[in-house]
């Protein structure tokens, strides 16, 4: 009897879901909308903790998803910086 998803699947799914959420928030910023990112720190912390619990081989397998999330967070950060510098230069205008 299975008790639930394996730790690797849990971490992999969480990383993928967070990447999608970050990319969606970047889309919102790029289109001139405000975003609330108060959830991000806690979710990334949870992902880090769960990743550290993985055996080394599984940790290496999830690494590409973590790299993708990191890239998405960097892109969101750049979009937020650009929006802060040019608040009136909305793509909708």
- CA atoms lying within 13 Å on the CB side of residue 75: 17
**How many degrees, rounded to 5, is the angle at CA 70 between CA 92 and CA 59?**
150
Q: pTM (2 decimals)? A: 0.85
Instruction: In whole angstroms, give the CA distance from residue 60 to residue 72.
Output: 19
* pLDDT tens, position by position, 18-38: 999 999 999 999 999 999 999
* pLDDT tens, position by position, 40-52: 999 999 999 999 9
pLDDT reported for residue 27: 98
pLDDT reported for residue 4: 74
pLDDT reported for residue 65: 97
pLDDT reported for residue 93: 45
Instruction: In whole angstroms, give the CA distance from residue 79 to residue 28.
Output: 10
């Amino acid at each position: 009897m299975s008790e639930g998803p394996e730790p690797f699947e849990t971490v992999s799914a969480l990383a993928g879901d967070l990447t999608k959420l970050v990319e969606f928030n970047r889309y919102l910023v790029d289109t001139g909308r405000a975003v609330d990112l108060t959830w991000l720190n806690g979710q990334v912390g949870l992902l880090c903790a769960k990743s550290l619990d993985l055996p080394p081989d599984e940790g290496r397998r999830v690494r590409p998803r973590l790299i993708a999330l990191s890239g998405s967070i960097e892109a969101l950060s750049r979009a937020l910086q650009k929006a802060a510098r040019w608040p009136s230069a909305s793509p909708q205008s």
